Amino acid sequence: MFTGIISDLGEILEVHEKAEGLRGIVVGCGFDPDSIAVGASIACSGICLTVVDRGWRGERPYFAVDAAAETLRLTTAKDWRAGSRLNLERALRLGDELGGHLVSGHVDGIAELTARDDLPEIARLSFRVPRDLARFVAAKGSVALDGVSLTVNTADGDEFSVLLIPHTLKVTTFGASQKGARVNLEVDQMARYAARLLEAHLAVDGTGTVS
């Protein structure tokens, strides 16, 4: 589990195509490699990936992960290249502060940045979400975008907006994001469970059907 509070801004150093649809990804980071266990989970722009190697490249720490075919199909990982920047978060430990909201690192789909308005003290970013996920996005609710825990400002149909403070723009990839950018979207788990419970209720009392 994660919180959506980014702890490092990483850079992809290498990408290797492997057999059976696997893609090996080497990420330069600011983490102490000795503090990363092989087999540990790190959220890479919102995708929970398993560490398969870690160490140093010269004076730069790195860790390596593998992205499977399903991950490449559902997320932006298929577009990552050497030089791509990633929002990184280590897995939540018992006793850690829950500063954002509970994030699983299981991406639901890809949202597209449709507009960016840079205001004097804040930036408003608008996104279009796949229609089957729009029902899980509500004003004042939570979403994780490229692993960043954000509060929905407005929601209308399949579009919604968020407001980013200068600190968030500085420590995440959103500082450089422009119209047309594609980001990994994870909807709030509570919204997903509430929708499922409502569907089950409608099916039981005969007023609706579960699709």
- Name the catalytic one among 7, 40, 68, 114: 68
Known active-site residue 71 = no
- Name the catalytic one among 2, 31, 160, 174: 2
Known active-site residue 2 = yes
Known active-site residue 41 = yes
- Name the catalytic one among 29, 43, 48, 64: 48
H or E segment to which residue 167 belongs: helix 166-171
- Name the catalytic one among 16, 69, 151, 194: 151
- Name the catalytic one among 16, 69, 82, 106: 106
Known active-site residue 126 = no
Known active-site residue 16 = no
Known active-site residue 168 = no
151: which 2 tokens?
């509060």
Query: Which has the closest alpha carbon to 66: 9, 2, 10, 19?
Result: 19
- Name the catalytic one among 7, 40, 50, 91: 50
Write down the H helix ranges in 18-108.
69-74
Sign of CA dihedral 14, 113, 123, 92: negative
- Name the catalytic one among 3, 29, 31, 41: 41
Distances (CA, A) of 129 to 12, 138, 155, 181: 26, 12, 10, 12
Known active-site residue 29 = no
Sign of CA dihedral 90, 95, 97, 98: positive
What is the set of active-site residues? Answer: 2, 41, 48, 50, 68, 106, 151
